[in-house]
Amino acid sequence: MTQVTSSGNQRDWRSPDFRVSRRSRLKHREGPVAAGLDPIAASARRAGIESGMKRAWLCTIPLALIAGCTPQQRTPDQIQHETAKATREATQDAKAVAKGVMDGIRNQGPVDINKAPADDLKKLPGIDDEAARRIVGGRPYNDSSDLVRRHLITKDEYDRISDKVTAH
């Protein structure tokens, strides 16, 4: 048996080309069973292709939404305004940090009640302007507990500051 191709050439049915093309034709015309393929494997392959297509669509949709929601181009004036605002905030933060460092350096260890100015004494918990003036006016002290013995502050006030004060 011979077959005539579209180009006019003849092929013999015994040639390997003829068999491959016949099998290929059967596979496309009559499905996987006629082509000698396992029907279960063919349906699994088809399902895999379909699920792959679904995944591709599911990934494409969110990407399109994200691309549509990106911010628009900023003008140079907007960039300048945002930069000035960020610089202002950074300056305020830097000042706060510097103040905290200075307070930390200044308040290393206990406050000497014989030498500390009234402003430093007012930073102690429970010590107001009047108590700070009484402490400065009652100097010198031999011991920090002299503040209670001389009735300059109450025992409760002293208990709050006892670990923060000393007398040298």
Q: What is the pLDDT of residue 87?
A: 87
Best CA proximity match to 168, nearest among 145, 148, 142, 149: 142
In order of their start, the domains of the chain are 2-68 (no CATH), 111-166 (1.10.150.320)
**Torsions phi, psi of 158, nearest 5?**
-65, -40
- pLDDT value of position 92: 87
Alpha-carbon distance of 4 to 9, in angstroms, equals 6
Sign of CA dihedral 80, 81, 83, 88: positive
Model's pTM, two decimal places? Answer: 0.38
DSSP type of residue 128: -
Residues 145 and 158 sit within 8 Å (Cβ to Cβ): yes
pLDDT along the chain (168 residues), means of 10: 59 56 53 55 64 70 64 82 88 84 72 91 90 93 93 92 89
Q: What is the pLDDT of residue 90?
A: 84
Nearby residues of 36 by Cβ (< 8 Å), 6 or more positions away: 23
Rounded Cα distance between 29 and 27, Å, is 6
pLDDT at 130: 93
Burial of residue 44, with CB atoms counted within 10 A of its CB: 0-12 exposed, 13-18 middle, 19 or more buried: exposed
133 CB-near residues (< 8 Å, 6+ apart): 118
